[in-house]
Amino acid sequence: MRIIKDKNAIIRMFHVHKRYGAKQALIDISLDVKKNEFLFVNGPSGAGKSTLLRLLYLGTPVSEGQILVDGINLSRIPQSKIPYLRRKIGIIFQDYKLIHTKTVYENVALVLEAMGKKKVIIDKKVKNVLLTVGMKSRQDALPPTLSGGEQQRVAVARAIVGDPKIILADEPTGSLDSESSRAIMDLLEKYYIRGATIIIATHDKSIIKQTDAKVVELSEGRLLSNTKI
């Protein structure tokens, strides 16, 4: 069956299954995420939260079902167009995924360089975003010299510098203390207020409680409910 576009939904998942060999990671997931929605995907470890996010940026292909991201059917996207899809999405990883041999500035600038932006624009935007996340003073530092909270702030800066429509954050506060977690959540909320769609996969109910955001629960690869915790 063909998935139908919905002008209010920026993400549509339609009977999505994901298998890793014999293991079923996601089972029959159908989910719509509206434009400028703040959504938590909650569930215990191994529930399939990371897999769900990975499907959205084509970190892994879907086994069955269909996904639309900003009107693009991910099952039909040519390999050459994947980078352009990823430019619509800012991704924040639990392990930050910063390039250790590049400075904070270079890590953030990479996104705009990949987009082919001019040097002057890159410089202006990177400095602005580093100021927003409070890392301007550490722009020449290499990631291994930063604390976990600082590295995650750089990761947020990298995710938002290209003005993506969607932010996917996989356990963004997973390894941070409560103060750093709050700072990261504040940054994401600021970006949400500017009009972006934010999806956060987390097992941490305490950060969900602090917001009014929509929550979906995953358990053993199945979507249980749309709940407010």
Partner 1 sequence: MSHYYKRAVKDILENRFQNLVTIITIAFSVLIVSAFTLFFYNAGNIINSWKQGIRIMVYLSDGVTKPQQLDTKYRFAEIPGIQKSRFISKQEALELLKQQLQRQSSLLGNLKENPLPDAFEITLKPSSQNYERLEFIAKRLENLPFVDEVEYGQRWMQGVSAIVNLISITGYAFGSLFLLASVFIVANTIRLVLFSRQEEIRIMKLVGATNRFIKIPFYIEAIIQGIMGSLLGLTFLYVVYLFIGTYFKGGITAKTVNICFLPYDVILVIIISGMGVGMIGGAIALKEFLKS
Determine the interface stretch with partner 1 among 64-72, 82-90, 127-135, 201-209 (rule: CB under 8 A): 82-90
How far is Cα of residue 90 from the mean position of the Cα atoms in its chain?
5
Determine which residue in the list 19, 34, 35, 87 makes contact with partner 1, applying CB under 8 A.
87
Rounded-to-integer distance, Cα 33 and Cα 104, Å: 32
Min dist CB 143 to partner 1, Å, is: 11
CA–CA distance, 129 with 134 (Å, rounded to integer):
8
- DSSP, collapsed to helix, strand or coil, labels residue 208 as helix
- The yes or no reply on residue 45 touching partner 1 (CB under 8 A) is no
Q: What 3-state DSSP class applies to 86?
A: helix
Asked if residue 61 binds partner 1 (CB under 8 A), the reply is no
Q: To the nearest whole angstrom, how small is the minimum distance from the Cβ of residue 144 to partner 1? A: 13
- What span, in angstroms and rounded, lies between the C-alpha atoms of 222 and 220? 6
Closest CA to 43 of 204, 168, 200, 203: 203
- Select from 21, 45, 76, 80 the one that contacts partner 1 (CB under 8 A): 80
Q: Does 83 bind partner 1 (CB under 8 A)?
A: yes
- Shortest separation between residue 97's beta carbon and partner 1, angstroms: 5
Query: CA nearest 49: which of 168, 213, 153, 192?
Result: 168
- Beta carbon of residue 96, minimum distance to partner 1 (angstroms, whole number): 10
Helix 119-132 / helix 148-160 crossing angle, nearest 10 deg: 130
We find the least distance from the C-beta atom of residue 110 to partner 1, in angstroms, to be 6
Our finding on whether 98 is near partner 1 (CB under 8 A) is: yes
How far is it, in rounded angstroms, from Cα 167 to Cα 64?
24
Residue 91 as a binder of partner 1 (CB under 8 A): the answer is yes
Of 16-24, 78-86, 139-147, 171-179, the window that binds partner 1 (rule: CB under 8 A) is 78-86
Task: Give Rg (Cα) of the chain.
Answer: 17
Assess 95 for contact with partner 1 (CB under 8 A).
Answer: no
CA distance linking residue 39 with residue 216, whole number of Å: 7
The answer to whether residue 186 forms part of the interface with partner 1 (CB under 8 A) is: no
Residue 40, token pair as written in the block: 């938590």
Our finding on whether 157 is near partner 1 (CB under 8 A) is no
The binding site for partner 1 (CB under 8 A) comprises 57, 59, 80, 83-84, 86-87, 91, 97-99, 101-102, 110-111, 113-115, 119, 158, 162
